[in-house]
Amino acid sequence: MNADAHHSIAGQYDPRNPVTVEGTVVEVMLRNPHSRIRMDIADEAGNVQTWTLEMDDVEDMAEQGVTSETLLVGDELVVLGFPARDGSQLLHIERFHRPSDGLVYEED
């Protein structure tokens, strides 16, 4: 397991400053120990940036109905999460909502 594969959430992310972002899924990587999605998110000026969003492992996500068959490229999501401490376009997901059908995922 490399250093990026396992880390403290509080060490890499800032749980005291949660943010909400909205965007379009451009890649889904469901795997252990942490799944990731990449999303195109518009900043305040309207410029689109691609962010990487990290979440639970495959089993925990499947328990909430999030699988490779239910989370797809092109999905529009509203995400609440913790931003990276280093200011990079990285976010740890605490919760997401897909407005098109009401699918909700919450970190355990």
In this predicted structure, what is the pLDDT of residue 8? 64
| Contacting residues for 28 by C-beta, under 8 A, at least 6 apart | 37, 68, 71, 72, 73
Average pLDDT of the residues of the chain: 89
Are 92 and 82 contacting, i.e. CB atoms less than 8 angstroms apart? yes
In this predicted structure, what is the pLDDT of residue 5? 40
Mean pLDDT of 92-96: 95
Q: Tokens 């639970």 belong to which residue? A: 56
Examine the pLDDT at 99 and tell me if it is beyond 70: yes
CA distances in angstroms from 79 to 6, 13, 24, 57, 95, listed in the order given: 22, 15, 11, 17, 6
- pTM for this one? 0.85
**CATH class, range 17-106:** mainly beta
Mean pLDDT of 56-76: 91
Percent of the chain with pLDDT over 90: 69
